[in-house]
A and B are shown apart, each in its own frame.
Chain A
Amino acid sequence: MKVRVDDRLCQGHAMCTLACPELFELSDEDGHAFVRQADVPPELAEKIEQAVRGCPEGAIQTY
């Protein structure tokens, strides 16, 4: 599984970094999220699932 953040939708709610600080990080420029790596290790799959359900803007996609 891979994960990405749609920057057109992301507004920096930071729910993703609460769910999975291992993969999400917030930019110093605008506080919006980016992923450190697209590949989701199996042990983080559940946290990523929580991030998807926790993002108010629906900005996180797995593929």
Chain B
Amino acid sequence: MELQMDRYAAQQNPVDFDHHSADHAANWPSAFAELRANNPRPWSERHGGFWIATKFKDIVSIGQRPDFFSAHKDYDPVTGAIAGGISIPAIPGLRGVPNETASPEWDGVRTFINRRFSPRAVEAFRLKAQQFAAALIDDVIETGRFDIVEDFTNPMPALVTMELFGFPLDEWRAFADPFHKIIYTPRDDPEFPNTVRGLDYFRQRVEEVAALRRIEPRDDLLSHFANGSIDGKPLDGETLYNLAFNILAGGVDTTTALTSNTLIHLSRHPEDRERLRSDRALMPLAREEFVRFFSPIHALARNVVEDVEVDGWSFKKGERVLLAYSSANRDPDVFDDPDRVILDRFPNKHIGFGAGMHRCVGSFLARIMFEAMINEVLDRIPDYQVVEEELVVYPTIGNINGWVHIPATFTPGTKVGARIE
């Protein structure tokens, strides 16, 4: 009882907030603007109760103190009991490695994978990324119509990820679809348990292909996982799966969401489209601006492991806090005119890839995939137009700010003969 009292005494700034609601999906920029201005450190009673960090400065401070704000998740495969982790509410059935680990486990895992994702290492995927983008446009270019998500921005990162892991390319759909759906299916949807079960096939294939790579290693990520060791020990089956899961989940739908949102923006803003089309040197700055503006990873959680105060904000052990990266990226204390896309905005210290030690390991690969897709569209179907009445946004953007369908039309063109191989 005393614990309860204590807990409620701390939560002085109540707000009725649910990042998974339809209302939030429709109005998040103004909802966060209102909170940042009037109640920047609110507490929501939803999903078991959690703080919401809406200011850039608070989010970076929390991200940089992992000893107090942990992403660690305890998951018991036998009982199904879950504690901690980065999702509010928790996703059952798995644990992201390294995203849902803490030091010292995290250090070992990141040391094991960092090299594979360095700017130089991922440069090896640029040509493949361009080839896949060209092949996907080949598939639709004679028709004059496509669904940007289904035909382009969903398959393309999935194919690159298949290549990265060393899976047969033709399996991409079986892998990407459950990850895409698990992100946007609301937890109370009757389909949700089925969607989670869709991951079983991924697990099975990870185990099968890792077993093959133990016998005959190649230069791919699964060989690295199957034959490598973390802190001197070979990876056990659970770790190997959780790591593969995190890399697939971290890379696929995020890059899809970023590129989808960007293509909608460029369709709605012909002046930006023309500027980027005619001046590709603008791409790196524009790319960072789109990451800032759309913040594909909308918000993620941390778990308070010890009572702590951050700049006058008191947290109690056991509480959860949602880091609204999307809100930080529109914070007027940091960004001038934050609700406008400024293609050459610079400096641009967005935290769309996170802040602190869990900051995205795949950002250099994401940047390559994004550029390959946008360049392909600007080169080959530069007059594409999204069909506004047929757009379907994710029912929940609480995890990822993305789209289910973006139908678009364009002047048909000719194939270049690129193939997915």
Residues in A lying within 8 Å of B, measured CB to CB: 9, 11-15, 18-19, 26-31, 50-51, 53-58
Complex contact A31–B347 (CB within 8 A): no
With a cutoff of 8 Å between Cβ atoms, the chain A residues found around residue B361 in the complex are: 31
Closest partner residue, chain A, to B348 (CB atom) = A54
Number of residues of chain B lying within 8 A (CB) of chain A: 28
Instruction: Give the distance to chain B from A61, nearest Cβ to Cβ, in Å.
Output: 15
With a cutoff of 8 Å between Cβ atoms, the chain B residues found around residue A54 in the complex are: 346-349
Interface check B121, CB cutoff 8 A: yes
Instruction: Give the distance to chain B from A14, nearest Cβ to Cβ, in Å.
Output: 8
With a cutoff of 8 Å between Cβ atoms, the chain B residues found around residue A13 in the complex are: 349, 353, 359, 363
Identify 20 new A-B residue pairs, CB closer than 8 A, beyond the known A11-B354, A11-B355, A56-B351. A11-B356, A12-B363, A13-B349, A13-B353, A14-B363, A14-B364, A15-B288, A15-B349, A18-B346, A27-B118, A29-B118, A31-B114, A31-B117, A31-B118, A31-B119, A50-B347, A53-B349, A56-B349, A56-B350, A57-B356
Closest partner residue, chain B, to A53 (CB atom) = B347
Task: Knowing A11-B356, A56-B355 are in contact, say whether A19-B347 is a contact too (CB < 8 A).
Answer: yes
Interface check B318, CB cutoff 8 A: no
Alpha-carbon gap, A53 to B356, bound state (A): 17
Residues in B lying within 8 Å of A, measured CB to CB: 60, 64, 110, 114-115, 117-121, 284-285, 288, 346-351, 353-357, 359, 361, 363-364
Instruction: Give the distance to chain A from B79, nearest Cβ to Cβ, in Å.
Output: 35
With a cutoff of 8 Å between Cβ atoms, the chain B residues found around residue A28 in the complex are: 115, 118-121
Instruction: Give the distance to chain B from A25, nearest Cβ to Cβ, in Å.
Output: 9
Complex contact B346–A50 (CB within 8 A): yes
Task: Knowing A11-B355, A29-B114 are in contact, say whether A57-B119 is a contact too (CB < 8 A).
Answer: no
